[in-house]
Chains A and B, each alone.
Chain A
Amino acid sequence: MRTSSSWRRVGLGLSGLLVLAVLAWWCRTPLLGGLAQAWVLDEPLVRTDVIVALPQVSGSPVLEAARLYREGLGAKVVTVSAPVRPTDKLGLTTPHDEGNRQLLRENGVPEMDFLILGQNVPHAHAAAQTVAAWTKENGIRSLTVVTEQFQTRRVKWSLDRALRSSGVAVRVRAVPVRDYTLAQWWRSEQGLIHFENEVVLNLFYRLNY
């Protein structure tokens, strides 16, 4: 049976939670924006041996990789072969690999400085393994990995694990997604889905890999 002092403690605790909830609601804009900023990894740009483009939802990382190449921030651009879709096999859509090749060519990356690694690589984890294997085989010492902002944390984690004790420096460059900003991601359906999915995938990766 609770004493009056323990009920008071419960009451105080609940009141405290209520105050916190009201404060959180009132400050939701800076809190949610801050959460996204804390999640996304975006390291300062320096020249690295290779620029790796790992797109997830758009061609923006490939365009950004081309821009970094043109600015002399990497000697080569590599990306990872995407799975061939059923509509690609029918000739109704351009396979992602060919689309990326075209994008890079049109944006100033000559064929000799561009490589597609692997075949039908399904996910970021497999992409990290593919990039890591090629990096080790070719004596690469530093990478700049370009990917969509919410994916940066998972990509960095995957590559750091795959390149563990190899001494290869991995830097991540976050590319914004057109449909939303980090300051207002929760106002967009795409922003909500992308962020929430990345939280789940990060947990999935830590549990499985």
Chain B
Amino acid sequence: MGGVCLSLWLLRAPLLAGVARVWIVDDALAQADAIAVLGGGAQFRTFAAARLYHAGVAPRIAFMDVGLGPEERERGQTVSGETRLLRDVLLSERVPEENIVLVGRGETSTAEEARALRDWAVKSGVKRLLIPTDYFHTRRVSWYFRKVFAGTGIETRVHAVPMRDYTPDNWWQDEDGVISFQNEVIKSALYLARR
């Protein structure tokens, strides 16, 4: 038993990196009809979406109408600051306005976003949707989007966006890496439980 623990400790780096690499989903990039930018990702996902757009991966970007925060509701806002920021980043990154589409009505979770994007994609004739998102978010997104889009004939692919402060090979050495991974494990378990 002591030997096992010692071995695990000595091999913790490759083991933990291996766990991350197994968890992270990063589908091969292929030509898509649209790129989807999920809420909560203004600092990374939107920039990744703009890069993919400029690389010719898809002709348009669908970004989420993110739900209002409590203070925004109190102020009587109708559009959340997060929604405006997603759009502004895309425009700043030189994505033409005519190629940006707002999707949803005040979505507040990955599950709601998946359903809103499915409804939009079905109406818009999308056949392949690419979703760039944070490393550890990819597994839940990949699983849930496939579930929600099942039977529509629309393929969803997930692209793992590199984070600023950590990589799959050192995530356990960074606070954000540890918190992101464990939050996603918990949320994924909750999603599975609510299936």
Contacts and interface: CB of A to CB of B under 8 A. Distances in A.
Do chains A and B interact in one complex? yes
Contacts of B165: 122
A93 B43 CA distance: 11
Interface in A101-131: 122-123, 125
Contacts of A27: none
B31 interface: no
B175 interface: yes
A196 B186 contact: yes
B89 interface: yes
A87 interface: yes
Nearest to A197: B179
Contacts of B92: 90, 92
Contacts of B77: none
Contact of A200 (B42, B70, B178): B178
A123 B42 CA distance: 20
A87 B84 CA distance: 12
A192 to B, nearest CB: 9
Secondary structure at the A interface, as helix, strand, loop or mixed, is: helix
**Count class of interface residues, chain B:** 10 to 19
Contacts of B179: 197, 200-201
Contact of A123 (B85, B88, B175): B175
B145 interface: no
Interface string A173-187: 000001100000000
A87 B42 contact: yes
A22 interface: no
Contacts of A86: 43-44, 47, 89
B173 interface: yes
A204 B171 CA distance: 12
Given A92-B88, A204-B178, 4 more contacts: A86-B47, A123-B175, A125-B175, A197-B179
Ranked 10 nearest A-B pairs via Cβ = A90-B92, A92-B88, A123-B175, A86-B43, A197-B179, A85-B43, A204-B178, A200-B182, A87-B42, A86-B47
